[in-house]
């Protein structure tokens, strides 16, 4: 017994020494049964250059150990056969033919549970929230020793407020009551930055959930609990840049891990040079290689080590947690060839995964350029299924706030939708009214409740995958500049809040009116094949009224949407729509429940959108 204890202590001591020698081995572990047998380990430790490695585990082959510029790094290529079994195995690190230490690495089985990685489709309603600003479910992690930011100040938009993953988990019933089917949080990974670390877009460790939000295990539990409650999960990821606090940036493996310039150079933020056949190469380089801001170094996605690191990290999170979709931040700023390769590899592993690229561009053609199937002028297919449809968002506001002209007001909405032929499938686009980087919807329509309802009606009946920004359902307002109040806390998410908007009792009558409108239409949408996947048929606007239908292929289920954006009531003559209404005996107002007989005219109040189910 004494001998066994001694052996155990020796092994424990050796493994502890190895862990102290190697402060990072990424990915943290890997999985059996992956379509791609290749795996590249990034190994970081003090002065390990010159080390070689050996392993002996059935189904795992050590292919090559790469020495790089920085003596603190090794990159180890492994090949994992289909026959490899889950388990732990030692990787022996050698110097001059002598073993220095072993590092225990692990393969886990893939999880084939049917509730995992379901994909997000136009049958869903996405709810976007910022975890730091939504609800504080665990005050014990509000401040974490050792991190750069120690300020907790809910009176400032630039410091942390204490919201976390547990806070979101505590309100899953709220989302279901609202009619939401999918949750999207801004990035949850570690952002150990001295200022404004709450937003999540300056990652400092790709493999760790920020401890102020929780742990990796809690994130996995969050996904599993959401799935158990019939909710899907989108993860927000960033390819383009990292934070200056990233442990890799503090000790770069090689100089060109990030894009280097003789003097600091910021991106032009102009997407046009990426697609412009006449673009100067310098302009294209500035867009793609310029840093997003001084605190966010631009990753060099032409570097094969960077490519492997990012791609493996995203595969790891999907398989580890079982998430259903990805939102890709700053998509146009990334290296196109790499992004196409990235998407191909992820689709191979996860055929049902949904992917949306953020494309805040200025034309439908520009948005479509980044989507799959469009190979014009560049000879590659991005393999990107859909984008966040900024152009459609802009036309929602034009339809609600603008004056009708040949290309203005409701005509602009009609025109933008008429260009859907540019996409392989516009139904894969995420559509929205606002988000965390924009002025809030309710403020942009000048807090007009009729326009609010019209905007929500358009969002929840239009083609594409609708996305709602947190608080829109309770009329949260404010503009993006200069104070960042669009990222205010959700009232009731913190102990001690004067009122809770999570309950009807805590909401004002008008807030309840808004909440109930969203909930009513969202729940109807969950039961409506026409709104979930029906074909969009739109009519040229006439007399200040815009009409479209959503109809199933068989034509057995149809919804008619009528938008009167003008400030006076209108009478709509229905003879023009006989092609969609020929078998209709009556119409049901989805919100009020009122039954309308199908006669020759429909009364449409001023600044109102009617959502009518055809019977």
SS3 assignment, position 128: strand
Marked catalytic residue, from 324, 329, 389, 613 = 329
pLDDT at 600: 86
pLDDT at 554: 78
Check whether 3 has a pLDDT greater than 80. no
Check whether 303 has a pLDDT greater than 70. yes
Helices (H), 157-202: 165-169, 172-178
Helices (H), 189-242: 216-228
CA distance 557 to 554: 8
Helix (H) or strand (E) holding 390: helix 390-401
Q: Confirm or reject CATH 2.60.40.1180 for domain 535-614, answering yes or no.
A: yes
Annotated catalytic residue 437: no
Marked catalytic residue, from 335, 358, 566, 613 = 358
Q: Tell me if 368 sits within 8 A of 423, measured CB to CB.
A: yes
CA distance 292 to 425: 30
φ, ψ (nearest 5 deg) of residue 542: -140, 140
Average pLDDT, the chain: 94
SS3 assignment, position 307: helix
Q: Tell me if 19 sits within 8 A of 69, measured CB to CB.
A: no
pLDDT digits (tens, 9 = 90+) for 140-188: 999 999 999 999 999 999 999 999 999 999 999 999 999 999 999 999 9
CA distance 585 to 88: 67
CA distance 352 to 361: 27
Q: For the chain, give every domain's residue range.
A: 2-108, 126-531, 535-614
Closest Cα to residue 257, out of 69, 46, 39?
Answer: 69
- Which pLDDT band holds residue 553 (cuts at 50, 70, 90)? confident
User: Do 535-614 and 2-108 have the same topology in CATH?
Assistant: yes
Annotated catalytic residue 188: no
pLDDT at 481: 78
Check whether 126 has a pLDDT greater than 70. yes
Lowest mean pLDDT among 135-149, 160-174, 204-218, 470-484: 470-484
Strand order across the 73-80 sheet? 22-26, 38-45, 73-80, 60-67
- Which pLDDT band holds residue 555 (cuts at 50, 70, 90)? confident
Helices (H), 73-140: 131-134
Q: What percentage of the chain exceeds 70 in pLDDT?
A: 96
Q: Confirm or reject CATH 2.60.40.10 for domain 2-108, answering yes or no.
A: yes
pLDDT at 170: 98
CA distance 123 to 323: 17
CA distances from 93 to 28, 34, 49, 89, 256 (A): 17, 26, 11, 13, 26
Superfamily name with CATH number, domain 126-531: Glycosidases (3.20.20.80)
- Record the pTM: 0.95
452-474: average pLDDT: 98
pLDDT at 12: 46
Can you point out the beta strands (E) in 109-181? 126-129
pLDDT digits (tens, 9 = 90+) for 5-32: 444 444 444 455 455 589 999 999 999 9
φ, ψ (nearest 5 deg) of residue 101: -170, 165
Closest Cα to residue 380, out of 344, 345, 351, 350?
Answer: 344
pLDDT at 7: 45
- Which pLDDT band holds residue 2 (cuts at 50, 70, 90)? low
198 by Cβ neighbours in 10 Å (0-12 / 13-18 / 19+) ranks as: buried
Closest Cα to residue 92, out of 21, 194, 168?
Answer: 21
CA distance 404 to 60: 66
Residue 80 C-beta-side C-alpha neighbours within 13 Å: 24
CA distance 109 to 350: 15
Q: Tell me if 411 sits within 8 A of 405, measured CB to CB.
A: yes
CA distance 441 to 455: 9
């Amino acid at each position: 017994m004494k001998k066994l204890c001694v052996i155990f202590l020796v092994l424990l001591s050796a493994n502890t020494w190895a862990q102290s020698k190697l402060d990072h081995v990424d990915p943290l572990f890997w999985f059996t049964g992956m379509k791609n047998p290749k795996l590249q380990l990034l190994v970081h430790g003090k002065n390990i250059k010159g080390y070689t490695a050996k392993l002996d585990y059935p189904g795992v082959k050590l292919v090559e150990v790469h020495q790089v510029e920085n003596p603190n790094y090794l990159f180890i290529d492994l090949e994992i056969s289909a026959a490899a079994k889950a388990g732990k195995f030692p990787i022996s690190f050698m110097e001059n033919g002598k073993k220095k230490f072993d590092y225990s690495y692990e393969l886990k089985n893939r999880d084939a549970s049917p509730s995992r990685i379901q994909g997000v489709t136009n049958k869903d309603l996405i709810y976007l929230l910022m975890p730091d600003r939504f609800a504080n479910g665990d005050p014990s992690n509000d401040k974490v020793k050792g991190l750069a930011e120690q300020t907790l100040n809910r009176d400032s938009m630039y410091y942390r407020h204490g919201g976390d993953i547990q806070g979101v988990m505590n309100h899953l019933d709220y989302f279901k009551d609202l009619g939401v089917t999918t949750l999207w949080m801004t990035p949850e990974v570690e952002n150990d930055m001295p200022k404004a670390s709450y937003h999540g877009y300056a990652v400092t460790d790709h493999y760790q959930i920020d401890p102020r939000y929780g742990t990796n295990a809690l994130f996995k539990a969050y996904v599993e609990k959401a799935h158990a409650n019939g909710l899907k999960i989108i993860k927000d990821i960033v390819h383009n840049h990292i934070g200056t606090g990233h442990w890799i940036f503090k000790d770069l493996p090689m100089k060109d891990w990030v894009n280097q310039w003789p003097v600091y150079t910021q991106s032009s933020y102009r997407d046009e040079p990426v697609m412009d056949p006449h673009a100067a190469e310098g302009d294209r380089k500035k867009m793609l290689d310029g840093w997003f801001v001084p605190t966010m170094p631009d990753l060099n996605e032409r570097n094969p080590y960077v490519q492997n690191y990012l791609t493996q990290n995203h595969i790891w999170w999907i398989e580890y947690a079982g998430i259903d979709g990805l939102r890709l931040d700053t998509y146009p700023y990334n290296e196109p060839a790499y992004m196409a390769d990235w998407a191909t590899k992820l689709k191979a592993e996860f055929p049902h995964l949904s992917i949306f690229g953020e494309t805040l561009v200025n034309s439908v053609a520009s948005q479509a350029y980044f989507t799959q199937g469009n190979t014009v002028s560049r000879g590659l297919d991005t393999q990107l299924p859909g984008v966040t449809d900024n152009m459609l968002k802009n036309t929602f506001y034009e339809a609600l706030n603008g004056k009708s002209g040949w290309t203005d007001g409701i005509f602009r909405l009609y025109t933008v939708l008429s260009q859907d032929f540019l996409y392989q499938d516009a139904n894969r686009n995420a559509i929205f009214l606002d988000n965390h980087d924009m002025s809030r919807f309710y403020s942009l329509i000048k807090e007009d409740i009729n326009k609010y309802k019209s905007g929500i009606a358009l969002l929840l009946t239009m083609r594409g995958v609708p996305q709602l920004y947190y608080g829109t359902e309770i009329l949260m307002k404010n503009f993006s500049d200069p104070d960042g109040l669009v990222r205010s806390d959700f009232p009731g998410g913190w102990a001690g809040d004067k009122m809770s908007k999570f309950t009807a009792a805590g909401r004002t009558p008008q807030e309840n009116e808004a909440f109930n409108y969203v909930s009513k239409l969202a729940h109807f949408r969950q039961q409506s094949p026409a709104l979930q996947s029906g074909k969009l048929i739109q009519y040229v606007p006439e007399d200040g009224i815009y009409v479209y239908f959503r109809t199933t292929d068989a034509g057995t289920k149809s919804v008619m949407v009528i938008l009167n954006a003008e400030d006076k009531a209108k009478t709509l003559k229905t003879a023009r729509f006989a092609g969609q209404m020929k078998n209709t005996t009556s119409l049901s107002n989805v919100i009020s429940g009122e039954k309308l007989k199908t006669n020759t005219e429909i009364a449409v109040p001023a600044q109102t959108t009617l959502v009518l189910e055809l019977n």
